[in-house]
Structure formats: C-alpha cells, structure tokens
Amino acid sequence: MTYRDFSKQAMAYAASIGCSACELYFASGESFEVNANGGEIDRYSVSRDAGVSVRVSIDGHEGYAYTERIDEPEKLVDHAADNARCIESEDEHPMQTRQSYRSVTHVDSALKGLSETERIALAKRMEEVCLAADPRVRRVVYCAAEYGAGSVIMENSLGLLAERSSDTSAIYVMPSVQEGDEVQTGFAFRMGKEAADADGCAKESVAEALGKLGAKPVASGCYRVLLRPFAVCDLLAAFASMFSADEAQKGCSLLAGKEGRQIASELVTLWDDPFDEVAPRAFDGEGTPCVKKAVIDRGELKTLLHNLKTAKKAGAQTTGNASRRSAAATVGVAPTVFRIQPGEKAYETLLCELGDGLVITDLEGLHAGVDAVSGDFSLKAAGFLVQGGEIVRPVSNITVAGNFVTMMKDVTAVGNDFRFGLPQGGFFGSPSMLVSGLTVAGN
Amino acid sequence: MIREETARAVLAEAQKSGADYAELFLEDNESTRIEMIDGKVESANYARICGAGVRVLLGTKSAYAYGADTSERALLEIARAAAAALGEAKAAPGGEVSLPLTRFTTPVRRPFDTIGNAERVEVMRTGARVMKQTSGEVTQALVRYLDQVQRVTIVSTDGVFVTDERPRTRIFLQAVAMNGSEAQTGYSGPGCCRGFEAYEDVIDVEQHAKIAADMAVTMLHAPECPAGNLPVVIDGGFGGVIFHEACGHSLEATAVGRNNSVFCGKLNTKIAADCVTAVDDGTLPGEWGSINVDDEGGTPQRNVLIENGILKGYLIDKLGSRRMNLPSTGSSRRQGYLFAPTSRMTNTFISPGSDDDEEMISGMAEGLYAKKMGGGSVNPPTGEFNFSVAEGYWVKNGKIVSPVRGATLIGKGSEILLKIDRVGKNMWMAPGMCGSLSGSVPTNVGQPRIRVSGMTIGGKGGAIE
C-alpha cells in the first residue's frame, strides 16, 4: 500500500468512527554509517526506513499510534482511538491549522555529494592520520563517518500540510595514547558542511588525548572554573528541559513563573534559533511556523518554550517548540537550536582572568549525574589546573558539583570561542564561560 | 513468519560477494506506553516497529543493512546492500545448510494484547495514589507504564532458523517532593520478562510507590554530600550498576576483541578481591535481562566472569569470537533491527558472599552508605567510570548520621574491584536499560550489599557533624 492511499483511508476512517480531528506524521529516510579499524571496514551499516504516526482527537482527548508497516490504516486508527479514550487529563491539545512558512535554505552537508567509497575513505583517513600523528598513539578506538537524509510529511483534517527534508553528516574519532602504563583517550568530531575535514578532526583528537597525559586529581575544594564550550553544551543539553513550559506546568522546573525575572548573569544571552544554518527548519513538530527568540536576554528569562498544548494551558502563544523525538514519539516540547551568544574575550584572556583555578574540558555521566528538577549536578570531569593564568598540568578523575541555576548567575566572563557540541537530540552551542565557584572532589 | 525458501534466497544473495557468514533478523515489535501525572492519564501511545536486517561477515569484516520493508523484494535488496559493502560479486561459498525451525516462547498467562487500557491504568493509579498518600510533601506523582512484545526470527548460514517471542513490562514510579524552592525526586522502576500477570505475581506496585515517595521526601531533607576519598557501602539490587559499569562493559568482546579494554589478556589472573565472584546469566526465568535465544540465534548461558577474584571469562558474540579466538557465550544482543548485534550483558551480578550487612556499616569510621544508585557510564579503554548516588547516607563512627544528596562516585574499574572488602549474603537484582553500540537493551544489575575500602565521592556539601 502506498503512503498516499494509507493516509486517505486513515483520515476517512477516523472521521467515520467519530474522531473530531486526525493527523498523520510520516517520516522516511536513509542512513549510512561506517567505522574503520586497522585500515579495514570494521562496522558498516546502511538503511532505508519509513514509519507513520497517527494522532486522533476524541472529545478533546488525543491518542497516538505508530507503525512501520504501511498497511491496515483502520487498525492503526483504532489503536489511537483506544488510547484517546483512556486520557483523563483536562488539558486540551489543539492541532495546528494550515500555515504558510518562510522558506529556509538548507546547505547540503559535506557527505551528501560523496560516494560510498569516498565516505569510507574519510573514516580510514582519520585512523591513518591519528596513527601517524605521534608515536604515543596506540590505536584508534573508533573512527566513524555517518550520513543521514530524511523527510517528513505532516497533514491533518484541519488543513495542515507541511513537508521538509534535510540531511546530516558527521565524522568522529577517538584515539587512545599511551605513555608508560598510562592510557588516555581523546575525541573530536566534525559535522554538517565541515564533516569532510578528516585531517583536522584526527589531529584535534590526538592533541586532546596527548594533552591529558600525566593527568591526576587535584585536592578537593571550591574552585573558580573556566568551562570550555563542549562542557557548557553538555550542561545546556542536560538542563534544557528546565526551559520547557511542559515541565514547568508539571511542577518539574525551577524556572516556572520566572519569566521577566533575572535568572542569569547579565553576560548571558541564550537564543533558540530554528534558522541557524547548523539545522534550519521552517516548522516545528506540530506544524507551527518556527520563530527565533532570545530565551534569556542579558540574564532575564524572556519566555519558556511552548507547544500548542502548553500555550493553551498558559494562555500564551506557542513559541514553535513542539518536538517529536522520533516519528513514534508523542508531541513534546524541546529547543530547536539552543545557543549561548558569544562574548568578546579570547580563550587566553579568560585564562588570565581565571588566574588560579581549573579549566574543565570534559564532563561525563550526564545521563545520571544531573537532576533537571533541582538543577543539581555532580559529574566526573577532566581538564587543566591553572595557576597565575598559565596551564600547569592536566587534571582527571575529579568530580565537579554545582547547581545549573546558581551557576548561570555566577558567570563572570563569556568567551568568543563559540562551538556546537555533538548533537544530542538537538543542537547546543556555547562559548567558554568563567564561573565563580564549583565544588571539586579529588584527593 | 518468513518462508524457509525466501530466507535461503536472502542469505544466498547476501553471500554473493564472498561473505563466509550471513544472517537475517526480522523483528515485529508492538508496545504500549502510558503516562500518568497526579493520577490522571496524560498520554497513551501504541507503536509497532517492524523491519529486517541482514548482516554479513568475512573474517572479521562486517557489514549490516536494514530497512522497514520486509517484502521478499525488499529483503533481497537489503541483502544486496550488505553484500556490496564487502566487495564485488563473486562465486558464493558452496553447500546448502539445512534450516530446521526452532520456536521459542516465554510462558505468559495474560498476553498484553488481551489487556485493555483500563486495566493498565488501574495498576498505574495504585502507584500514583500510594505515592501521594505516603507524604504530604510529595507534590507530584508521575507513573510511566510500558508493555512490549518483541517477536523475532533469526536465520543464518550456520543453520540457525529460530523464532522468539519476548514479552516485557515495566512500571516507572517517580515522586517529586517540594518545599519552597527546593525539589527532589525519588523513583523505583520494577520490570520483568513476563505477561501482565507480573502485576499479580511478582511486581508489588504499592511497595515500589512507597519506596519512590520515601526516597523523594528523605532527599528533600538531606544536606549536600561532602566530597572526599572514603569507604563506601553499596547496597544490593541496583547497586550492582557499579559492577556493570566498572567491569561488565570492559569484559564485552566489543572492547576486549579490539584490544580496547584494561582486562585484555588477563584471563585466569587476579583482577578482583578474593571475595568477588561475578556472573552474567541470561537464562534466569522471567527476569528483565533474560533471553530465550540470543540475537544471532545462539543459546544464552550462565557465564562466570570472575571467580574468587580470578578473571574466568568474557562476554562474546560471533564477531568477537573470531577476533578473540574464543567461543561465543550466547551474549549477542541488539535493541532491534536498526542495529547489528554485538556482545552485551543480560542479568549481571556479584554472587552472594559471607559478610554481615550490619557490620559493614558499624565497622566504618566515616564514609558513605549508598542505598540506591542512579545510572553511570564507563570509558572502557581507560576503565574510568562514574555513577550517581540517588539515595545516600553519611556514616560516622559506625552509625548513619544523616541522609545526603547529590553524591557521585568515580574511579577506575581495575582498582575498585581490588578494593572490595565485604560482600554480603543476600543478592537481589534490579532492572535497567543499557545503552551501547547495538542500541538500548534491557539488562538486570545485581549484587548483595558490598563495601569498597576507598572511592572518590563527589558532592558539594561541607562536613557533616
């Protein structure tokens, strides 16, 4: 059965069993992934897939069902209707109507025009460059190239019709280096239009690994900390749900009701920018036209992120932040491209301002060591010890602990060294940030 | 169910570029998820994930292709894509294999497709009610319910032709306790590999709801955990995540077979304290991490990993077996058809020892009692791990003096295993989802109460008097 036929029959059937509205979300795509090891293809995977989710509304309640078998639309609608009938929450979740969208230019990612052989060559090249970069490089743990392309069609019985397609490219590598008995690993990645930069990526990863040799803990205590861009990106991703109106309405965000209040240092401006060239999109997960907005403007919380449901409940406008983690997932709330505005200061200047303290480059354990409800985090970390504005030695096997909300207030300088982190369910970008005090556990 | 003839044709197509092994994996996975907030159903979702993947091996080279379309034409196309990755077409290796079909099922009294949403919601409502009733400080009760049946068919040129049905259900109970501007959460998430009868037979929702609520309230009144390097007592059940992270991942062929593990070449040598015996056992009936057949069609088994401190075995899949020159251990798993399988854990635990639970705390001058662990992660090449403590207590002069929040434990697997100085008598397990190369798979972690003589404890609190 074609998707066209499936969608027509699903819509007609939904109306016939008393659904007041019916929406279909059809996603299809292809993917490519290769990992090289010892000059050979070690892991290789290609795919082509498609799935459709149906959402129906009955008596103001909505139910979902998803399938990857594009047949029997009636059965799928029945599942969704059953699910709608068990909903007890009184919160209405309206569907979007027909909209017009601004046109968005999507720059092709680097691997799009490459043949399969060329993509494989990129992975192999990273391994070669790593191994040749320094005699202390012992092996490459992984070095992978990935490409994905996908398209989405959304349509509903209220007239909505929205379509988009996009593609993504990424390469990433982790070498391990050894000196005596000590083993350290490094990591680097490139994405989007930079994803063909195998040499740069490999060299960066080796430099990172070598920089960690000789790392040891520091004494436990309270330190001034310079967080490098990737560390801030990780924290931003981990605490992004604080900015969700959905979490706020469920009583799970400390930012609930704080709109218009100063929640961060005046140095902090946070953008939700759906048009950023890293991943531009015209509409959100329920077909609402996207808008760029400052979420924090010079420290002041301007808005939480809304979809149609949370906006209706709050008596506000949707901010175009409806999300679907996958076609199979229900509609939620999430940032589009979340990025902290860079400042003027170079990294070296920030080191001088830090004086005595720690540079934190890596945070680990983010799926466990953060509490998005309380804002608390306690994470394994690595970086450098800084004395008198100079890097003294690498640091590892420490934890840093703090509170995200408190930390945003304690920002004393923002760098000009903006980077996007590896995408994690969304895009998060930041420059380095100097914060006044985090608690460190070491020895 | 795929016909044998079609399966043969797909495998033959997959071997056309010279693969010495080909395998077809078909999946049809139906699940229902319901979310309830403060006793009201907030969302309900049904999902049916169907597709197929073909994997080919040539020596230690591997390629995997997959797609959602499982028509014969599409399967042949997937097979061709996998074959193409290995090189040009050449003569296929000779010899027809015979494919006798074996069907596995998990005994189920109440299959999920006979259960209506009303009954699911009733179970959830009990959880929500008990969390709210436990304390007035519980301001929000969240309940997530999942049931799922994964039906798989695996056919390979090793003569494997099996089907398996894997029913699983889990209920996740989360309580949020709040006073003024502070909020803390508590949770419990029991799950098993059974039908809906689990909620009558093995999962006591009221008890788990109470655990979640008590934890949130206790943590609300807990000061921040102090930082330092001190002894740590880790309770049984989910405490086993320490072994899972600190050691388990580094014993998987994924790491060992590529020489990316600190435990490479350490078979039959001492890697842990004498009191440590650890096992991975996928055969335990009805357990969350159990499997009837692994995702290459292999037989799961009880794998002794460490015996009295001596490393006895690794967790090995087919590809790992080729790299390591050791037999597979029935440990090949994957989330579904989106992933090629690899070596993974099932139900992994430290076996019961002979130490007294009370003495572990009463014999400690100062340290942390980690009653409930959160999640964690590890970097296998270095063995450095981290995990969070969801419910902790500070111990001084052999007595618990205060609950503490926000603690993290870090260390190196190879060091921590040698520092275990107590292993208790009662072992129990708890479910989790484990993420790695082949996706997210259900695994149990477990152990009796244990003590580690020293670990780095992260936290932002001052000294506790």
Poorest-pLDDT segment among A214-223, B162-171, B175-184, B304-313: B175-184
Confidence (pLDDT) at B96: 59
Q: What is the pLDDT of residues A386-397, one digit of tens each?
A: 999 999 999 999
Confidence (pLDDT) at B91: 55
Q: What are phi and psi of B395, to 5 degrees?
A: -115, 135
Q: Determine whether the interchain pair A65/B386 forms a contact, defined as Cβ–Cβ distance below 8 Å.
A: no
Confidence (pLDDT) at B375: 82
How far is residue B141's CA from residue B139's CA, in Å, rounded to a whole number? 7
How far is residue A398's CA from residue B408's CA, in Å, rounded to a whole number? 10
Q: Structure tokens of B76?
A: 């042949």
User: For A299, left (φ over 0), alpha (ψ -120 to 50), or beta?
Assistant: left
Q: Are A164 and A151 in contact (CB under 8 A)?
A: yes
Q: Each residue of A308-321: b (16+ CB within 10 Å) or e?
A: bbbbbbeeeebbbb
Closest chain B residue by Cα to residue A40: B61
Q: Structure tokens of A387?
A: 């004395």
Average pLDDT value over all residues in chain B: 93
Confidence (pLDDT) at B290: 94
How far is residue B394's CA from residue B247's CA, in Å, rounded to a whole number? 26
The total of other beta-carbon atoms located within 10 Å of residue A132's CB is 11
Q: What is the pLDDT of residues A21-41, one digit of tens each?
A: 999 999 999 999 999 988 888
Q: Are A280 and A105 in contact (CB under 8 A)?
A: yes
Confidence (pLDDT) at B253: 95
Closest chain A residue by Cα to residue B389: A369
**A79, A330, A368: residue with CB nearest B388:** A368
Q: Determine whether the interchain pair B384/A378 forms a contact, defined as Cβ–Cβ distance below 8 Å.
A: no
Q: What are phi and psi of B46, to 5 degrees?
A: -115, 140
Confidence (pLDDT) at A37: 87
Q: Are A416 and A345 in contact (CB under 8 A)?
A: yes
Q: Annotate A294-310 with DSSP letters as a single string.
A: EEEETTEE---B--HHH
Q: Is B457 touching A (CB cutoff 8 A)?
A: yes
Whether residue B234 is predicted with pLDDT greater than 80 in this model: the reply is yes
Alpha-helical runs (H) found in A150-255: 198-212, 229-238, 245-249
Q: How far is CA B66 from CA A28, A146, A152, A206, in A?
A: 13, 15, 20, 33
Among A308, A315, A310, which Cα is nearest to A284's?
Answer: A308
**B62, B181, B375: residue with CB nearest A367:** B375
Confidence (pLDDT) at A252: 83
A/B interface, count of CB pairs below 8 Å: 235
Confidence (pLDDT) at A264: 97
Strands B228-234 vs B366-379: parallel, antiparallel or unpaired? parallel
Q: Structure tokens of A56?
A: 């129906």
Give residues with Cβ within 8 angstroms of A153, minimum separation 6. A3, A24, A25, A26, A161, A162, A163
Q: Are A224 and A355 in contact (CB under 8 A)?
A: yes
Tell me the average pLDDT across B116-134: 97
Whether residue B451 is predicted with pLDDT greater than 80 in this model: the reply is yes
∠A375-A376-A378 over CA atoms, to 5°?
Answer: 145
The half-sphere exposure of A191 on its side-chain side, counting CA atoms within 13 A, is 17
Q: Structure tokens of B187?
A: 């949770």
DSSP letter at B23 equals: E
Q: Are A145 and A120 in contact (CB under 8 A)?
A: yes
Q: Are B181 and A373 in contact (CB under 8 A)?
A: no
Q: Determine whether the interchain pair B44/A87 forms a contact, defined as Cβ–Cβ distance below 8 Å.
A: yes
Alpha-helical runs (H) found in B41-171: 72-86, 117-134
The 3-state secondary structure of A232-253, one letter per residue:
HHHHHHHCHHHHEHHHHHCCCC
* Cβ neighbours of B379 in A, within 8 Å: 185, 364
How far is residue A140's CA from residue A131's CA, in Å, rounded to a whole number? 8
**B48, B384, B406: residue with CB nearest A66:** B48
Confidence (pLDDT) at B97: 62
| pTM recorded for the entire structure | 0.91
More confident residue, B85 or B47: B47
Q: Structure tokens of A109?
A: 């990612």
How many Å separate Cα B230 from the centre of its chain? 28
Whether residue B35 is predicted with pLDDT greater than 80 in this model: the reply is yes
Q: Structure tokens of A250?
A: 């469920």
For residue B54, the distance in angstroms to the closest alpha carbon of chain A comes to 10
Whether residue A372 is predicted with pLDDT greater than 90 in this model: the reply is no
Q: What is the pLDDT of residues A127-148, one digit of tens each?
A: 999 999 999 999 999 999 999 9
Confidence (pLDDT) at A374: 84
CB interface of B with A, residues 121-180, below 8 Å: 121, 139-140, 142, 176, 178
Q: What is the pLDDT of residues B80-118, one digit of tens each?
A: 999 988 876 565 555 556 777 888 888 899 999 999 999
Tell me the average pLDDT across B310-337: 96
- Amino acid, single-letter form, for residue A196: A
How far is residue A167's CA from residue A66's CA, in Å, rounded to a whole number? 23
Q: Is B103 touching A (CB cutoff 8 A)?
A: no
Q: At what angle do helices A116-133 and A198-212 cross, to 10 degrees?
A: 30
Domain range summary for chain B, segments of one domain joined by +: 4-220, 228-458
Tell me the average pLDDT across B310-317: 97
How far is residue B413's CA from residue B344's CA, in Å, rounded to a whole number? 18
Sign of torsion over alpha carbons A434, A435, A437, A443: negative
Q: Determine whether the interchain pair A369/B386 forms a contact, defined as Cβ–Cβ distance below 8 Å.
A: yes
Q: Determine whether the interchain pair A68/B178 forms a contact, defined as Cβ–Cβ distance below 8 Å.
A: no
Q: Determine whether the interchain pair B45/A378 forms a contact, defined as Cβ–Cβ distance below 8 Å.
A: no
How far is residue A432's CA from residue B1's CA, in Å, rounded to a whole number? 55
Sign of torsion over alpha carbons A283, A286, A291, A293: negative
How far is residue A299's CA from residue A405's CA, in Å, rounded to a whole number? 11
Q: What is the pLDDT of residues B287-303, one digit of tens each?
A: 999 999 999 999 999 99
How far is residue A341's CA from residue A106's CA, in Å, rounded to a whole number? 22
Whether residue B383 is predicted with pLDDT greater than 90 in this model: the reply is no
How far is residue A141's CA from residue B113's CA, in Å, rounded to a whole number? 44
- Amino acid, single-letter form, for residue A187: F
Confidence (pLDDT) at A59: 92
- The neighbouring-strand residues paired with A296 are A270, A301
Q: Structure tokens of B5?
A: 């003839």
CATH architecture group of domain B4-220: 2-Layer Sandwich (3.30)
**A45, A69, A329: residue with CB nearest B48:** A69
Share of chain B above pLDDT 90, in %: 82
- Amino acid, single-letter form, for residue A50: A
Q: How far is CA A389 from CA A235, A348, A355, A385, in A?
A: 25, 8, 4, 10
Average pLDDT value over all residues in chain A: 95
Element (H, E) at A64: strand A61-67
Whether residue A424 is predicted with pLDDT greater than 90 in this model: the reply is no
CB interface of B with A, residues 337-376, below 8 Å: 338, 340, 374-376
Confidence (pLDDT) at A367: 76
Q: Each residue of A4-38: b (16+ CB within 10 Å) or e?
A: eebbebbbebbeeeebbbbbbbbbbbebbbbbbbe
How far is residue A436's CA from residue A231's CA, in Å, rounded to a whole number? 16
∠A115-A117-A119 over CA atoms, to 5°?
Answer: 70
Confidence (pLDDT) at B100: 79
Q: How far is CA B23 from CA A94, B4, B63, B318, B338, in A?
A: 46, 13, 11, 11, 14
Share of chain B above pLDDT 70, in %: 98
Tell me the average pLDDT across B216-233: 94
How far is residue A346's CA from residue A431's CA, in Å, rounded to a whole number? 10
Q: Determine whether the interchain pair A46/B81 forms a contact, defined as Cβ–Cβ distance below 8 Å.
A: yes
* Cβ neighbours of B376 in A, within 8 Å: 365, 368
How far is residue A343's CA from residue A48's CA, in Å, rounded to a whole number? 43
Confidence bin at B195 (pLDDT 50/70/90): very high
Tokens 């959402």 correspond to what residue?
Answer: A55
Q: What is the pLDDT of residues A396-411, one digit of tens each?
A: 999 999 999 999 999 9
How far is residue B298's CA from residue B410's CA, in Å, rounded to a whole number? 35
Confidence (pLDDT) at B295: 97
Q: What is the pLDDT of residues B362-382, one digit of tens each?
A: 999 999 999 999 888 888 788
* Cβ neighbours of A251 in B, within 8 Å: 139-140, 176, 178, 183
How far is residue B363's CA from residue B231's CA, in Å, rounded to a whole number? 11
Confidence (pLDDT) at B438: 94
Tell me the average pLDDT across A418-423: 94
User: For B78, left (φ over 0), alpha (ψ -120 to 50), or beta?
Assistant: alpha
